[in-house]
């Protein structure tokens, strides 16, 4: 089972795969700890333990050109902090358009923009995990790049 994370400035969407690595489902939305106290990391560690995930997939928000942005640096920093706190690999996976896809899916299901807010981060995390699962099935290779808690950006 894999745990998927969509890192945002305010909220963190969390999703998981099923035991067979076929389907991703939402788990919860975690408030981002902007105080630096680590409550968000602690909650993700607890979820990793509760769900017995063997890997954590974190979305890597790249510009459409593939370049890095301020959000890219934020997600990388968060992934490094998470890697230092968990005893399983943390993998960064390209998440371009995951939030846009999540908004579109929610709109198609009849949810207005006001009712999207509580779940949009979870849906984006589901899209990230599902993309990673589909990519691995298609290529036979693990998706993305493993994070090292000491690598530079």
Beta bridge partners of 145: 92
Q: How many CB atoms lie within 10 A of CB 68?
A: 15
Reported as a single tens digit per residue, the pLDDT across 78-133 is 999 999 999 999 999 987 655 555 556 656 666 555 555 667 788 889 999 998 99
Query: Domains of the chain: which residue ranges?
Result: 2-146
Q: Kindly indicate the confidence band of residue 23, based on its pLDDT and cuts at 50, 70 and 90.
A: very high
pLDDT at 2: 95
pLDDT at 150: 42
Give the pTM: 0.82
Q: How far is CA 77 from CA 17, 74, 113, in A?
A: 24, 5, 29
Q: What angle do CA 8, 120, 116 make, to 5 degrees?
A: 130
pLDDT at 1: 93
- The class of domain 2-146 in CATH terms is alpha beta
pLDDT at 121: 84
pLDDT at 141 over 50: yes
Beta bridge partners of 11: 31
Q: How many residues does the chain have?
A: 153
pLDDT at 35 over 60: yes
Reported as a single tens digit per residue, the pLDDT across 44-84 is 999 999 999 999 999 998 766 766 677 788 899 999 999 99
Q: Kindly indicate the confidence band of residue 153, based on its pLDDT and cuts at 50, 70 and 90.
A: very low
């Amino acid at each position: 089972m894999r745990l998927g994370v969509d890192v945002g400035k305010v909220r963190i969407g969390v999703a998981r795969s099923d035991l067979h690595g076929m389907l991703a489902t939402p788990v919860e939305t975690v408030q981002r700890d902007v105080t630096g106290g680590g409550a968000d990391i602690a909650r993700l560690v607890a979820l990793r333990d509760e769900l017995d995930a063997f890997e954590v997939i974190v979305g890597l928000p790249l510009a459409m050109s593939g370049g890095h942005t301020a959000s890219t640096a934020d997600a990388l920093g968060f992934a490094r902090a998470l890697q230092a706190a968990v005893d399983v690999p943390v993998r960064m996976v390209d998440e371009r358009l995951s939030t846009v896809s999540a908004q579109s899916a929610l709109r198609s299901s009849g949810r207005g923009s006001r009712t999207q807010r509580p779940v949009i981060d979870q849906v984006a995390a589901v899209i990230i995990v599902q993309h990673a699962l589909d990519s691995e099935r298609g290529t036979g290779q693990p998706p993305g790049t493993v994070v090292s808690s000491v690598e530079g950006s």
